[in-house]
Homo-oligomer: A and B are copies of this chain.
Amino acid sequence: MKKVRVAVIGFGNIGYHAVQAILAAPDMELAGIIRREGATDQPLPWVTFIDENTDISVLGKVDVALLCKPSIQIEEYAKKYLSQGIHTVDSFDIHSSIVNLRHSLDDVAKKNKAVSIIAAGWDPGIDSVVRAIFEAAAPVGITYTNFGPGMSMGHSVVARSKEGVEDAISITIPLGTGVHRRMVYVQLKENASFEKVSNAIKQDEYFCHDETHIIEVADVSALADKGHGVHMTRKGRSGSSDNQIFNFEMRIHNPALTAQIMVSCARACTRRQPGAYTMIEIPMIDLLPGDKDAIIAKLV
């Protein structure tokens, strides 16, 4: 069996866990890890690390580039690799920009006969697929997505950016019906005013619409585990029958899950026609290794 050769682009939380998922996949090979210029440590001695300015061809044939980078940089990185005919997978998570990213990458992917699977994580990602299942099963009704308890990366970054903040994390607490409380733990810089920091966070666009509590702590790093979760629920109507109830719930290690889904999507890249896809546009069987009949016999 020819293995799918995957390069990991970026070696933060997601990149680290992507490597673990690739090594565990029976049908994949880690081609190498591409880091930003200047990183010189060698945390995995048996893996080839190159920096971003080195031509990726030194890693040999690469089938898929896993873009373990912040959302804001995804379009640039995806185009770089797609234009070389290398499939890409990302976990771009700015929901309001997914349609535009898809159109933009679709063009580049088709021109270069490559596949790009975008927004491949848990939300957007498998939660999106479950929301689609819910709608197909009960077309009339309301779906609520309730996140947490768990650390929100985006909200934590915003809290950290405020003047006087040494470190901060924002924990998302689900209150039901898609309403969330934000518990923000801040570690202040010397002489910083808690009141000023607290007001700056509460007035930020990221926090001002939600119930937000700011709590001062001596050491933020003692609070932050990487567990997270979601509970999605739909009550709806199938045909003329009301009160159809659906629930989906996960309690997961956040970066490990995101990375695993990206790696499963890397496999799907090799099975699709050129173009850009979100996860609701690909059949779930394409995420799984092995023989089609065997998968159908086991799971259907």
Contact = CB atoms under 8 A, between A and B. Distances in A.
A253 B132 CA distance: 19
Interface of A: 17-21, 23-25, 95-96, 98-99, 102, 119, 122, 124, 126, 128-133, 135-140, 237-241, 243-253, 256-257, 259-261, 263-264, 278-285, 287-289, 293, 295-297, 299-300
Given A98-B296, A253-B244, A279-B300, A288 B239 contact: no
Contacts of A98: 296-297, 300
B284 A133 contact: yes
A257 B244 contact: yes
Contact of A299 (B17, B128, B287): B128
Given A137-B257, A248-B248, A260-B139, A299 B131 contact: yes
A44 to B, nearest CB: 13
A256 B279 contact: no
Nearest to A241: B256
A78 to B, nearest CB: 16
Nearest to A238: B260
A25 B300 contact: no
Contact of A238 (B119, B248, B253): B253
Contact of A285 (B132, B139, B297): B132
A133 B137 contact: no
A21 B23 CA distance: 46
Contact of A137 (B128, B264, B289): B264
A3 B49 CA distance: 55
Contacts of A279: 300
A234 B42 CA distance: 35
A281 B283 contact: yes
Contacts of A261: 136-137
Contacts of A119: 300
Contact of A25 (B95, B139, B248, B251): B139
A33 B284 CA distance: 33
Most buried by B among A133, A245, A261, A281: A133
Given A138-B260, A280-B283, A283-B280, A20 B240 contact: yes
Given A245-B250, A280-B295, A295-B280, A239 B20 contact: yes
A13 to B, nearest CB: 11
Contacts of A241: 17, 20, 253, 256-257
Nearest to A264: B136
Contacts of A130: 130, 133, 248
Given A240-B256, A299-B280, A132 B246 contact: no
Contacts of A137: 122, 126, 250, 252, 257, 260-261, 264
